[in-house]
Amino acid sequence: MSGIYTAAAAPNIALVKYWGRRDDSDLNLPYNSSVSVTLHQDTVKTVTSVALDPRIKRDAIYVDGKLQDSTRSDEKVRLILGVVRDMKSMGNSEDGVLVVSRNNFPAGSGLASSASGGAALVFALNEALSLHLDDTSLSVLARRISGSACRSIFGGFVRWKRGTSPGGEDSYAEQIAPPSHWKLIDVIGIVSASRKKVSSSAGHLITPRTSTLYRSRLELAERNAESAIRAIEEKDFERLAEITMADSNNMHATMLDSWPPIKYMNEKSWRVVDAVHEMNSRYGKSVAAYTFDAGPNAHVITTPKYEREVEDVVGDALGEGARVLASRIGNSPKLIGRKDSLIDDSLKPLQI
Ligand code: PMV
């Protein structure tokens, strides 16, 4: 079987965060459940083409024009190749695979691409190998590339249930509500393009092992996930905003409490925190909610009514040269046509 298939997927932003793996297997099994919104492919997306062909002698992955070195002990590449190998064996294929992936995020934005990249890859491979896997199985496979990727298999509002099985069969994401349920906006303030000092995969192991606060985070995060889902179902923005901000603060507190301490937020991130609290107190209620992943970039969730003002508040807080993007909530990954393929008919990556 041979063919070239291309899929697009969007990153997601967690409102209740996943931080901490319960073992050091390659399965990315979380200690706690998490809740996210999938962003819109019009604003942020990863496009991934896969080619399966007997002429390809060695599986290879290109990301943003660069060949990823599979001989180095790069953990991400190893995880991706492991999932590719398992999906090929499900499809009884011995063909070589070429993967070419491109992010449309602004150059060096520091936005996480592993979630959208992982989701787009398993989605495209499912087609290329005619596996006909359902979304739950795709979510389990995407999780092995990057935990948060399991949530990008779904559009709208998404929950990832931690599960309890050692093999991870019950640790996958599911949709809570479609994007049309509630028109929220994520205003993204790009603070830094520099690479993080501690990768999230290392941090997921360091914090549970060393932070004395971590045990209490687990109970809180599980409760936050339940409350966030109720707030989403009831479209209770104030409640969702408060859970979102508190959960981000709590996760970053356990990071700082790790040994050695892990610090992802910087001065500029904190300026956004202050500015959002100021805006909320001006309105006498929470109209915006910040959340930060394993990096300094700010995500501020709001409703369309306050979108412009939040963009200004974030832009002013970050100062000169700040980049601010706004994303609606978007859909699940989709297949895209041949004309947007990143691989040409002679099986060469297209450097576009
Ligand atoms: O999926 P990973 O390994 O990149 O970890 C993601 C961790 C956070 O972004 C900090 C939180 C989350 O739930 O997305």
Confidence of residue 73 (pLDDT cuts 50, 70, 90): low
Residue 140, CA distances (Å) to 183, 187, 288 in order: 28, 29, 32
- DSSP-based three-state secondary structure for 6: strand
Mean pLDDT of the chain: 94
Question: Does ligand 1 come within 6 angstroms of the Cβ of 175?
Answer: no
pLDDT value of position 110: 63
Residue 151, CA distances (Å) to 42, 190, 259 in order: 18, 22, 29
Burial class (CB in 10 A: 0-12, 13-18, 19+), 231: buried
Q: How far does residue 283's CA lie from ligand 1's centre (Å)?
A: 31
Spatial contact of 114 and 146, defined as CB atoms under 8 Å apart: yes
Question: Does ligand 1 come within 6 angstroms of the Cβ of 15?
Answer: no
Identify whether 352 is part of a domain.
no
Identify whether 317 is part of a domain.
yes
Question: Does ligand 1 come within 6 angstroms of the Cβ of 247?
Answer: no
pLDDT value of position 36: 98
Identify whether 350 is part of a domain.
no
Question: Does ligand 1 come within 6 angstroms of the Cβ of 250?
Answer: no
Question: Does ligand 1 come within 6 angstroms of the Cβ of 14?
Answer: yes
Confidence of residue 2 (pLDDT cuts 50, 70, 90): low
Answer yes or no: is pLDDT of 29 > 90: yes
Answer yes or no: is pLDDT of 194 > 50: yes
CATH number of the domain that 71 lies in?
Answer: 3.30.230.10
Identify whether 200 is part of a domain.
yes
Q: Kind of pairing, strands 288-291 and 185-190?
A: unpaired
pLDDT value of position 223: 98
Sheet strands (E) in the chain = 3-9, 12-16, 34-38, 46-53, 60-63, 66-67, 96-103, 157-160, 173-177, 185-190, 288-291, 298-302, 323-328, 334-336
Mean pLDDT across 251-271: 97
Spatial contact of 171 and 30, defined as CB atoms under 8 Å apart: yes
Identify whether 196 is part of a domain.
yes
Atom of ligand 1 nearest to the CA of 200: 3
Answer yes or no: is pLDDT of 1 > 50: no
End-to-end, the C-alpha distance of the chain in Å comes to 27
User: Could you say which DSSP state residue 49 is in?
Assistant: E
List residues bridging with 98 in a β-sheet: 51, 60
Question: Does ligand 1 come within 6 angstroms of the Cβ of 292?
Answer: no
- Dihedral sign computed on CA atoms, order 81, 153, 110, 40: positive
Question: Does ligand 1 come within 6 angstroms of the Cβ of 126?
Answer: no
- Structurally, the chain folds into a number of domains equal to 1
Atom of ligand 1 nearest to the CA of 28: 3
Task: Among 293, 297, 299, say which to mutate for ligand 1: greatest number of ligand atoms within 8 Å of CB.
Answer: 293
Atom of ligand 1 nearest to the CA of 149: 1
User: Could you say which DSSP state residue 156 is in?
Assistant: S
pLDDT in tens, 210-229: 999 999 999 999 999 999 99
Question: Does ligand 1 come within 6 angstroms of the Cβ of 147?
Answer: yes
Confidence of residue 106 (pLDDT cuts 50, 70, 90): low
Question: Does ligand 1 come within 6 angstroms of the Cβ of 114?
Answer: yes
Mean pLDDT across 250-261: 98
pLDDT value of position 74: 75
Question: Letter for the amino acid at 79?
Answer: L
Task: Among 18, 207, 265, say which to mutate for ligand 1: greatest number of ligand atoms within 8 Å of CB.
Answer: 18
Provide the Cα torsion 162, 247, 153, 181; round to 10°: 120
Identify whether 347 is part of a domain.
no
Distance CA 15, CA 231 (A): 12
DSSP H or E segment with residue 340: none
Residue 112, CA distances (Å) to 149, 196, 256, 281 in order: 10, 11, 21, 31
The structure tokens 């978007």 sit at 330
User: In terms of residue numbers, what domain contains 29?
Assistant: 3-340
Output the pTM of the full model: 0.96
Mean pLDDT across 319-333: 94
Answer yes or no: is pLDDT of 108 > 80: no
Confidence of residue 72 (pLDDT cuts 50, 70, 90): low
List residues bridging with 218 in a β-sheet: none
Mean pLDDT across 87-107: 91
Mean pLDDT across 223-249: 98
Answer yes or no: is pLDDT of 282 > 80: yes
Question: Does ligand 1 come within 6 angstroms of the Cβ of 200?
Answer: yes
Say how many residues make up the chain. 352
- DSSP-based three-state secondary structure for 306: helix
Percent of the chain past pLDDT 70, that is, above it, reads 96
Identify whether 145 is part of a domain.
yes
Mean pLDDT across 49-60: 94
pLDDT value of position 192: 74
Nearest-CA residue for atom 8 of ligand 1:
293
Sheet strands (E) in 39-153 = 46-53, 60-63, 66-67, 96-103
Q: How far does residue 19's CA lie from ligand 1's centre (Å)?
A: 6
